[in-house]
Structure 1
Amino acid sequence: MDARTFARLDYPEVLEALARSAATPLGARLARRLRPVGREDVVRRRLQATDEAVTFARRFGPPDFSGVGPVADAVRRAKKGGLLYPDALYRVLSFLRGIRRVRASVRRPDGTEATFPALVRLSDRLEAPAALYEALAGAIASESALKDEASPRLLELRRRLRAIDGEIRETLERLIRDPETRGALQEPVIMFRGGRPVLPVRADAKNRVRGIVHDVSSSGQTLFIEPEAIVALANVRRTVEQEAAAEEERILRALTKEVAQAAVPLLVAEAHAAALDLLFAKAAYALAHGHARPNLGPPGGPVALYDAYHPLLGDRAVKNDLLLEAGVRLLLITGPNTGGKTVTLKTIGLAALMAQSGLFIPAREGSTLPVFDGVFADIGDEQSIAQNLSTFSSHMTQIVAILKRATEKSLVLLDEIGAGTDPAEGVALASAILEALAERGARVVATTHFGELKALAGERPWAVNASMAFDRETLRPTYRLLLGVPGASHALEIARRLGLDEAIVRRAEARIGAEGRQAAAVAAELADRLQALERERRRLAAEREALEAERRRLEAERERERRLLSERLAAADARYRRRLEEAVRKGEAIARELEALHREAIAAGHVPPTVKPHEWIDRVGALRRAAAEAKAAADEAAPKEDRARGGRKPSPPGGRLLPGATVLVRSHGLKGTLLELRPNGEAVVQLGVMKLTLPASDLVPVEGDKPPAPAGGVRVTVERRAPFEVDLRGMTVEEAREALDEVLDRALLEGRDRLVVIHGLGTGALKRGVAEFLRRHPAVKRFRSGEKEEGGSGVTIVEL
């Protein structure tokens, strides 16, 4: 493969487009120098690295290469003993900052080493010498200046300069404000001449401002005078300024020396930064144009390019399937002029060159190419008056060179083989050349107009005919490649449609003969049928692609829902862990408080010292229960008329009718949960999904009642055998959504598949808000209003 072959196949133009995708001049320069290789292991590594860059860019975006520019010139100058000024040192500092940023972005904290090994290996070689980086960062302020803090001496000198400048400015402003001096000035401004501060004094008033004249205006009407009052100060300033300049030079020389000492790591880092930028340029070029990674087949294996096109044609390109089976060594393409034969040759050749350069190719995924040890092309005319070469001679010169170099692993592309000489001799010579290349085992793609060569391809098992389709109605090529059928030049049809005299066309047809016309008609009919089949195949392929895209979309949607549900479950788990930790902390605080009370009780003599805290708590609880039972017995023993005088009284608060207890409603014969005891003798009881307000005297405690429910929050029934319920009545829509979200999380964590939501009837706003929330929740399978026995429209039944 040589520069001439690259030029014939438009490879330099592809590299130029690749260079425009680079982020740095380093990567662009490397892109223009990119060349294909013929070793399969190297090609495989190149494509794998490009694939990593494409995946990385899709997932995270490309690294930020800003500031990463060439530093080799500055390094070489430093090595030779030259002085680097702030602009060159600033470029080195920007380079070091840039490669640090690039390395950090590639070596992400989420395990990129395993997913992007090639990228990580390159980024690891972006070594920024720490000592040099710290020295430059502490000294360089911009492309034109050093920092004041570059050295203590420079800081002191610059402070003195600022102080002197302030004193000079104050003195000059005082002179400008003086009426005597102001009247002598052309205008009241401070100017500079030769680095010295001056005042613009009228020539006719020069004696009114004593000082040194540094300049005169072109008209002679203005003298630029340094007032005598600041001459001494300006002289001091000049001395300090020279000292500061000397200190700056000393610092620059020290920094230059450090750059020279770090020459090797700097140049190594520059080379690897260029390589990394080139990789991401390949990724950007592939993503911008929809190119795909090719599969690599064995030597002599199939060439299968699906929907391949010339990458420089853009939207004008027509995509074709270019297929050579493993045993096929010649693909002979025929068809009309300007029908796309040469573009097809270049497309195949470019795909091979791009793949072997580590580039993705302009074809669909699944395309396969072997690795060629050489790609040779004879395309276009290279006539030379100086060398006395005709078109035929130039073609033969190239073919002779190809025959000397082509092997069984080569790809040979021949455009209009045998043209430019006597047709009979051209056919004979072309046949011999194609057979010689095929016997050598090379893969050959050739174009021709010779009918005899079409017959050759039809007779040889290692050869296949193909043609560029032609629309006989519009007399325009379609640029579609038809495999397996020879094409015609359609010269007579084109001539007739373009207005050539009919008598001339008929005379030409007569010379072709009946047999020739019949063969041409059969070939044309076959081509038409193949075009129709090709259109149908492409339609089906488009439908298949659409279905595949829909399948991928649905899979992505399902994956998104699974991920969302997983995130919600993880968030719910985290919330309950926090609540559990909070409950443990509260429990520990209560335990500490009880221990303190226990110690106080012992200190007050109410409890013997031998009684442990838990025994004391048990005794207190027993006393409270005994007191409650005694009071209940006293109330039961009171005269009936006393009990009836005030109406029905609630069970005593110290009795077993406590909020949270299980009770029997005598008037209904049903069990429920006591929610509230009111001072007016009424009680609120939960019966299934309903809350009822009943006389407390209608309730009978049931043995084995559950402990009182904790106050506050949303009350949820959590017994495993009972329905999982949440009561949202009395809440705003927003409060209900938050409560319902937490309850759904709990239901999922507990493995529930059903939830009863109690929202009541009211205005219906709460029910609508609940329905809207459930409709969007990913854990909800379906929901409905309750049946009559379930609570009717006042509840919603949710399936999870």
Structure 2
Amino acid sequence: MNKSIKTLEFNKIKSLVMEHAASSLGSMRIEKMEPSFSLEEVTRLQDETDEAATILRLKGGMPLGGIFDIRPHIKRSQIGGMLSAAELIQVASTIRAGKHIRNFVDDMHEEREISIPIITEKKEMLAVLTPLEHQIFDSIDESGEVHDSASTELRAIRQRIRTSESRVREKLESAIRSKNAATMLSDAVITIRNDRYVIPVKQEYRSHYGGIVHDQSSSGQTLFIEPASIVQFNNQLREQRLKEQEEIEKILIALSLEVQQEADNLLLTVDILADLDFMFSKAKYGRTIKATKPEVNDQGIIKLIKARHPLLPTDEAVANDIYLGEEFSTIVITGPNTGGKTVTLKTIGLCTLMAQAGLPIPVLDGSKIAVFQSIHADIGDEQSIEQSLSTFSSHMVNIVEILKQADSESLVLFDELGAGTDPQEGAALAISILDEVHGIGARVVATTHYPELKAYGYNRDGVINASVEFDVETLSPTYRLLIGVPGRSNAFDISKRLGLSDHVIEHAKSFVGTDSKAVEAMIASLETSRRGAETDYEEAQDLLRDAEKIHRDMQKQMAEYYSKKDDMIEKAKLKAQEIVEKSKAEAEQVMSELRQLRFEKQADVKEHELIDARKRLDDAAPKSSAKKKQQKAKSERTLQPGDEVNVLSFGQKGTLIKKTDEKEWAVQMGILKMKVHEKDLEFIKGEKKPDPKPLATVKGKDFHVSLELDLRGERFENALLRVDKYIDDALLAGYPRVSIIHGKGTGALRSGVQEKLKNHRSVKKVRLGEDGEGGSGVTVVEFK
């Protein structure tokens, strides 16, 4: 099995997945990733990856930053060891990462209905260790430095250290500022050697300062001397730093004990974070190769739809449909070399290994993959010089081992079965080996170039021939797998295309046996039939898709029709009821008034009073739609440019400019010019009313005045000229207010513009813009 994993290059897949790991924990999990042979476990692994892929699709990922492998730190704390500040920060960072993940999953449940039971279960297992996280971060910063506030004693010690350092620096600065310092010092700086403050003194003036020499320059001309006057202060500083270190150790030991108490919860947290990183690494890899989750089974059924080799570039790999395990359990693939037979074998084997390891595979939705108990592959030229084995011998060593281990729950892949020896004997061996593995019930895919195996599937149940397509016109393989069609020899066709004379080809054909010719003719007929069937199938599929689309559209339209029909009937009923009620009320009112008139005037009611009452009754009656249509028809006429119209959808009046289409007009509504359908227009009258404030269109049919004038970057004189012209245009357009943008700058342009505007006879008010209008960079002008 390990040999097959290596042969199928599963380790390359692991390396690609590892590129997506967010932490060393995830990388270690990927390194240990192996195919599982349990259907239940493979199903769970696939579900885990699918949940991670769902979150990737919806949210772009999960926050997995800040995770560290803190297991060595935890174990050291368990035996009483002291953790360093950096190690404690890693512990706190990992706790915080777990908290972020808990919050992230909770937020997802609140935002949308999404089923992620496995990730939710793992989230629930994450221990809440926020107090320990805060305790560490309150004592240590992100860079690993212990805070002064970590303890009262540490704060006091560091205060004394700063005081002592200040004294030492004062004395040394006094020394380097003395009148002889420029002569005796190599440089007027204070530096540190062996954790003590020193000054650089020239060799010849060593005795002047006394004290202790801690270092010298490479040339020996400069000595780094701690002057005698500060030795005592440096000693005190050294003692205080030792006390600081002791206090820091006390703090780190106390925090390490806290880690020790939460060791079990921390180890569980690390395991869960490693699981999540592993799951998302697999999902991210699947996204890069456009992979999907297959349906897994333990019946040996493989159904790969548009399968691609995972290690080939997505845009270069040829996708093939591969079926195995239902109608047939053995496939024999024939065809020319470099035609893609070996790639097909590796695609089947590698997709199976990936699926059993919980990885998505590069196929379309609806694909199925079987969980096998063993996968055996004899692929490639494995000639062994060290063992003095030929290619044939090397293959036979592998095949012997496979025959010993294979059973009914195995997947067996043979590449160029029986190659490397006498063709007749090799073909016989290949048939015998295939009979053996097929007989025990294994799922078998074998490639061969022996013509004797082309007819292998015709007289054996559960066996089918297949081939890789070859384009004789271009003399190149298409890499398409054709299940059910054996490969035909293209030697004569290729030779003819390459220029070999006809008589040589015909002479060669005379040496080919009758049986071989019959087989070739049969294969050619099969290919023709297959191409015809494929064309018919594609046409049928196109027709089916069109019919389904039309059916869906018709259903949608019918549903909309009935929905609108019911709504309109309901609205009409309500409207009619309202009109009737109103009419009844009005009639009752009229009748009441008539009775009152008769009572008051003893039936001496004038004719005009009765006519008036009848008119009110007529007005109360609902108007028929026929009358409305008749009235509307009377008002309709052929529209002409210049007509005044009502734009019904906007409830605004406008003027027709020109007809832009057969049923569409350009309409001017105030300062707006729009295209409106003729049905949306209602004619008012043919002559346009004179407008006291002509629109901006007087300057041309496409002329438009902006509500803003931008003067930024203009010269002062040009800007004022533009202001003059713009004010005239804005007045013609009938604007009540405009804005002039001059920017803030030095204020010269703003002052010039405002001075000019204040003296204009049509300007009512000039002010600076407010906060939402551009502030002092804009002047707002209001007209009279």
TM-score of the superposition, structure 2-length normalised?
0.68
Deviation at 1:399, TM superposition (A): 2.5
Measured after TM superposition, the shift of residue 67 of structure 1 is 1.4
Q: Secondary structure at the match of 2:372?
A: coil
- Greater shift, 453-462 or 78-87, is seen at 78-87
What letter corresponds to residue 65 of structure 1 in structure 2?
L
Distance 1:791 1:280 in 2: 72
Name the residue aligned to 2:34. 35
Contact 2:181 2:188 in 1 (8 A): no
C-alpha contact (below 8 Å) 1:786/1:792 kept by paired residues: no
Query: Helix, strand or coil: the match of 1:377?
Result: strand
Counterparts of 1:137 and 1:207 in 2: how far apart (Å)? 50
User: For residues 144 and 246 of structure 1, what CA distance do their matches in structure 2 show?
Assistant: 17
Instruction: Determine if contact 1:333/1:468 at 8 Å carries over to the other structure.
Output: yes
Aligned-residue offset at 1:365: 1.0
1:174 corresponds to which residue? 174
How far did 1:297 drift?
4.3
Q: 1:425 matched to which residue of 2? A: 425
Checking the alignment, whether the CA contact within 8 Å between 1:128 and 1:266 is kept in structure 2 is: no
Counterpart residue type for residue 116 of structure 2: F
Give the aligned residue type for 2:60: G
The letter of the residue matching 1:52 is E
Alpha carbons of structure 1 residues 181 and 418: separation in structure 2 relative to 1, 3 Å? closer
The separation in 2 between residues aligned to 1:511 and 1:384, in whole angstroms, is 37
CA gap of 1:66–1:542, structure 2 versus 1, over 3 A, is farther
Q: Return closer, same or farther for 1:374/1:217 CA change in 2, 3 Å cut-off.
A: closer
2:201 aligned with 1:306:
no
How far off its partner does 1:770 sit?
11
Q: Partner letter of residue 651 of structure 2? A: I
1:335 Cα deviation from its structure 2 partner: 0.3
Distance 1:170 1:450 in 2: 96
Q: Which residue of 1 aligns with 2:45?
A: 46
Deviates more, 1:391-400 or 1:411-420: 391-400
One-letter amino acid matched to 2:32: R
Q: Which residue of 1 aligns with 2:83?
A: 84
Give the deviation of 1:415 after TM superposition.
1.3
Question: 651, 656, 663: which one pairs with 1:758?
Answer: 651
- Rate the CA distance shift 1:239–1:297 in 2: closer, same or farther, 3 A: closer
Q: Is the 8 A contact 2:489 2:520 kept in 1?
A: no
Deviation at 1:337, TM superposition (A): 0.7
AA at the equivalent of 1:785: D
Q: State the 1:59 CA deviation.
A: 0.6
Match of 1:582?
A: none
2:88 is equivalent to residue 73 of structure 1: no
2:460 is the counterpart of 1:460: yes
Please tell me whether the aligned partners of residues 320 and 481 of structure 2 are also in contact (alpha carbons under 8 angstroms).
Answer: yes
1:461 is aligned with what amino acid?
D
Q: CA deviation at 1:490?
A: 2.9
In 1, Cα distance between the equivalents of 2:423 and 2:537? Answer: 37
User: What residue identity is the alignment partner of 1:403?
Assistant: L
Q: Choose the corresponding residue for 1:785, options 670, 680, 684.
A: 680
Equivalents in 2 of 1:327, 1:762: separation in Å? 76
Alpha-carbon distance in 2 for matches of 1:107, 1:427? 63
**Residue number in structure 1 paired with 2:185:** 185
Q: 1:37 to 1:204 in 2, by over 3 A?
A: closer
TM-fit CA distance, 1:220 = 3.8
Show CA shifts across 1:326-385 (max 9, x none): 131111110001111011011111122222222111111111223322222121233334
The Cα of 1:5 is off from its aligned counterpart by 0.9
Q: Tell me the distance in 2 between the aligned counterparts of 1:392 and 1:27.
A: 42
- Structure 1 CA distance, aligned partners of 2:40 and 2:182? 85
Q: 1:512 to 1:539 in 2, by over 3 A?
A: same
**Corresponding residue pairs, total:** 591
Q: 1:220 to 1:397 in 2, by over 3 A?
A: closer
Describe how 1:327-476 pairs up with structure 2 within 5 A. 327-476=327-476
* Percent identity between the two aligned chains: 39
Superposition deviation, residue 109 in structure 1: 5.4
Aligned to 1:732: none
Cross-structure match for 1:55: 54
Cα distance in 1, alignment partners of residues 458 and 229 from structure 2: 105
| Distance in 2 (alpha carbons) for counterparts of 1:53 and 1:64 | 12
Cα separation, partners in 2 of 1:544 and 1:160, compared to 1, 3 Å: farther
Which stretch shifts more, 351-360 or 168-177? 168-177
Q: Secondary structure at the match of 2:511?
A: helix
Q: In structure 2, what residue type is equivalent to 1:787?
A: E
Give the CA deviation at 1:507: 5.6
1:687-728 CA-partner distances (Å, limit 9, x unpaired): xxxxxxxxxxxxxxx9xxxxxxxxxxxxxxxxxxxxxxxxxx
Aligned residues of 2:39 and 2:297 also touching (Cα < 8 A): no
Contact 1:71 1:270 in 2 (8 A): yes
Secondary structure at 1:511's aligned position in 2?
A: coil
Superposed counterparts of 1:215-294, under 5 Å:
215-294=215-294
**Separation of aligned partners in 2, 1:448 and 1:305:** 22
Deviation at 1:535, TM superposition (A): 7.2
Matching residue of 2:97: 98
Q: Which amino acid aligns with 2:360?
A: F
Aligned-partner Cα distance in 2 for 1:128–1:396: 59
Check conservation: 1:468, 1:478, Cα contact below 8 A. Answer: yes
Q: AA paired with 1:200?
A: P
The superposition leaves residues 217-262 of structure 1 with CA deviations (integer Å, 9 ceiling, x where unpaired) of 3444323222333222212111101100111122222333333333
Q: Normalised by the size of structure 1, how large is the TM-score?
A: 0.67
CA contact (8 A) 2:470 2:476 kept: yes
Residues 495-504 or 167-176, more deviating: 495-504
Correspondence for 2:7: 8
Classify 1:220/1:13 alpha carbon distance in 2 versus 1 (closer, same or farther; 3 Å): closer
For the 8 Å contact 1:332–1:445, the answer to whether it is kept is yes
Give the Cα–Cα distance (whole angstroms) in 2 for the partners of residues 207 and 545 of structure 1. 102
User: 1:287 Cα deviation (Å)?
Assistant: 1.5
In structure 1, the partner of 2:118 is: 118
Retained in 1: the 8 A contact 2:456–2:465?
Answer: no
Give the structure 2 partner of residue 563 of structure 1. none
Distance 1:170 1:506, change over 3 A: farther
RMSD: 3.9
Q: CA deviation at 1:787?
A: 3.0
Residue type of the alignment partner of 1:3: N
Give the CA deviation at 1:291.
0.8
Amino acid at match of 1:443: R
Contact kept, 8 Å, 1:199 with 1:225, in 2: the verdict is yes
Residues 415 and 446 in structure 1, CA contact (< 8 A), matched pair in contact too: yes
Q: Is residue 66–residue 98 contact of structure 1 (8 Å, CA) maintained in 2?
A: yes
Question: Residue 293 and residue 154 in structure 1: after superposition, are their counterparts in 2 closer, same or farther (change >3 A)?
Answer: same
> Can you give the 5+ residue segments of structure 1 that lack an aligned partner in the other structure?
559-665, 672-701, 703-753, 776-781, 795-800
Q: Tell me, in whole angstroms, the C-alpha distance in 2 between the residues paired with 1:792 and 1:546.
A: 53
Deviation at 1:469?
A: 0.5
- Are the structure 2 counterparts of residues 210 and 370 from structure 1 closer, same or farther at C-alpha, using a change threshold of 3 Å? closer
Q: Are residues 757 and 790 of structure 1, via their aligned partners in 2, closer, same or farther at CA, if it must alter by over 3 Å?
A: farther
757-766 vs 534-543, greater mean Cα deviation? 534-543
Partner of 2:20: 21
Moved more, 518-527 or 25-34: 518-527
Change (3 A) 1:9 1:545: farther
Equivalent residue number for residue 567 of structure 2: none
Q: Sort the Cα spacing of 1:356 and 1:216 in 2 relative to 1 into closer, same or farther, 3 A.
A: closer
Q: Is the 8 A contact 2:475 2:494 kept in 1?
A: yes
Classify 1:393/1:214 alpha carbon distance in 2 versus 1 (closer, same or farther; 3 Å): closer
Does the aligned pair in 2 maintain the 1:787–1:793 contact within 8 Å? no
Q: Amino acid of the residue matched to residue 120 of structure 1?
A: T
What's the offset of the Cα at 1:531?
A: 5.0
Counterpart amino acid of residue 488 in structure 1: R
Once the two structures are TM-superposed, the CA of residue 83 in structure 1 deviates from its matched residue by 3.3
Query: Using a 3 Å threshold, how does the CA distance of structure 1 residues 429 and 156 change in structure 2: closer, same or farther?
Result: same
Give the 3-state SS of the residue equivalent to 1:290 in structure 2: coil
Output the amino acid matched with 1:316.
E
The amino acid of 1:465's aligned partner reads: N
CA distance in 1 between counterparts of 2:687 and 2:54 reads 55
